[in-house]
Structure 1
Amino acid sequence: MTATERQTPKQARGRAAVASILAAASELLEEGGFDSLTTATIATRAGVNIATLYRYYPNKFAIVRELAQSIEEERSGVALAALAELGDAPDWREPVVRAIRAMAQLRRDRSGATAIRRALQSSPELWHLDHDVNAATAEAIAPFLLRVNPALPAERAGAIALTVVHTVASLLDLAAGERERAFGLERELELVIIHYLEPELDGTGAA
């Protein structure tokens, strides 16, 4: 079993143990960050013995990776669900704003989301997961941009999509760390993305 795989529990007790381990890791990340996280503290918080934890996860990276994978896939999913309306909506700006707001709301609603994002950025072992999800999301978004402006070269649509995905992720990370100003920063993010896309999706920019 590698650091990115785990044994799948077949019984309800095992599934409950895995759920407890993931919940405990999420809580501890919120409380102390990635560097202070250990398998021992996770097992204690989860109410399982360390042997049970190691039955499913070889190390803390595997636990955080599973948490991150779930959040990153959900982040991509809410963005794509909103952007699917691009090309059909009366104004492309509306689904773009909805996508940004849905991702921001996910950060607020999902326990441990901010701490997990920080772990992805601080750990070389986890950084590539964020990179891979961003790349996959951008690849999925590019065709939506082409529906709005079919004159865009496909390669440029891909570059625009990747720029948007990374910009949104980075500025939402910033907003998460500035809680008193989070909503204001999110509105600024919307303006940044709208102004960036206008020349391309309204067909007034250079190809």
Structure 2
Amino acid sequence: MQEEDLKTKKEPSQKRANKTFDLILRTAAELLEDEGFEKLTTNKICAAAGMTPPALYRYFPNKYAILSELALRLMKLQNSELVRIGSKVREEGISRELMIDVLRQQVVVTQEHPGGVGILKTLYATPQLAEIRLSSHNDATQSILAILPELSERLGERAAHLRARLLVEIGNGLIEMIAENPDLDANVLIADTADIFLFHLEK
């Protein structure tokens, strides 16, 4: 699949177009959550949104491009939380409570984002979308390194990058685990993961 196949064909420039664009994304997110990516088709999105295929294809060439846009929006929200927490770290330093706050907010952002859990799972399961996931994880890794420059000073750039990237992967695993196992105690899982984060940041 070419990179162009994952991009929107047309960015909405008018209020009405924005509504159509958002309707497509919102409908796709709901179907993704209910039925999963394999059963998601542009025809189903059109039927559920009450629009014709030509109207959808004005903006998206295929379902991968739709999911790509949904994923980019989710990843932007997730990564913005890391930036937000940076000021707290500079003011208060690293603590267990702060790590718990970071992880809890990542879980909340993903769960509250339309189709968030389905998007996260699909990014790991769909090779065509791997580059989006990898790019976002690299951005999150760079955010961690920017928030904690002492990590690179202590470990060296390569080792610090590897450790920060590991934390990103563990964090995403936590979000998926909580989403797929609602019977588990999310507070315990978040607290235990915060301890893992602290161990790797202080080691």
TM superposition score normalised by structure 2: 0.89
Counterpart residue number, 1:152: 155
Q: Is this contact kept in 2: 1:39–1:50, CA < 8 A?
A: yes
Alignment counterpart, residue 115 of structure 2, candidates 94, 101, 112: 112
Normalized per residue, the structure richer in helix is: 2
After superposition, the Cα gap between the structure-2 partners of 1:8 and 1:87, relative to the gap in structure 1 and judged at 3 Å, is closer
Counterpart residue number, 2:104: 101
In structure 2, stretches of 5+ residues that fail to align are none
Within-5 A mapping of 1:78-97: 78-97=81-100
Q: Does 1:8 align with 2:11?
A: yes
Counterpart residue number, 2:201: 197
After superposition, the Cα gap between the structure-2 partners of 1:134 and 1:143, relative to the gap in structure 1 and judged at 3 Å, is same
How far did 1:187 drift? 2.5
**186-195 vs 85-94, which deviates more?**
85-94
Within-5 A mapping of 1:127-138: 127-138=130-141
Q: For each residue in 1:94-123, what CA deviation from the matched residue of structure 2 results, as whole angstroms up to 9, or x when unmatched?
A: 433221111011122222100111111111
After superposition, the Cα gap between the structure-2 partners of 1:3 and 1:84, relative to the gap in structure 1 and judged at 3 Å, is farther
Q: Does 1:31 align with 2:31?
A: no
How far did 1:149 drift? 7.9
Q: Does 1:19 align with 2:22?
A: yes
How far did 1:41 drift? 0.4
**56-65 vs 174-183, which deviates more?**
174-183
Paired amino acid for 1:31: D
Q: In the aligned structure 1, how far is the partner of 2:183 from the partner of 2:90?
A: 35
Percent identity, aligned pairs only, is: 25
**134-143 vs 40-49, which deviates more?**
134-143
In structure 1, stretches of 5+ residues that fail to align are 200-207
TM superposition score normalised by structure 1: 0.88
Q: For each residue in 1:67-116, what CA deviation from the matched residue of structure 2 results, as whole angstroms up to 9, or x when unmatched?
A: 01000111111122113432431544443322111101112222210011
Q: Is this contact kept in 1: 2:82–2:143, CA < 8 A?
A: no
Counterpart residue number, 1:123: 126
After superposition, the Cα gap between the structure-2 partners of 1:151 and 1:191, relative to the gap in structure 1 and judged at 3 Å, is closer
Q: Is this contact kept in 1: 2:100–2:190, CA < 8 A?
A: no
Counterpart residue number, 2:67: 64
Q: In the aligned structure 1, how far is the partner of 2:18 from the partner of 2:152?
A: 47
* Greater RCO structure (CA 8 Å; 6+ sep): 2
**39-48 vs 167-176, which deviates more?**
167-176
- The secondary structure found in structure 2 opposite 1:34 is coil
After superposition, the Cα gap between the structure-2 partners of 1:91 and 1:119, relative to the gap in structure 1 and judged at 3 Å, is closer
Paired amino acid for 2:54: A
Paired amino acid for 1:128: E
Q: In the aligned structure 1, how far is the partner of 2:162 from the partner of 2:174?
A: 18
Counterpart residue number, 1:186: 190
Counterpart residue number, 1:204: none
Q: In the aligned structure 2, how far is the partner of 1:79 from the partner of 1:102?
A: 9
How far did 1:182 drift? 4.8
Q: For each residue in 1:156-199, what CA deviation from the matched residue of structure 2 results, as whole angstroms up to 9, or x when unmatched?
A: 22121111111111222112111111513222222222222232
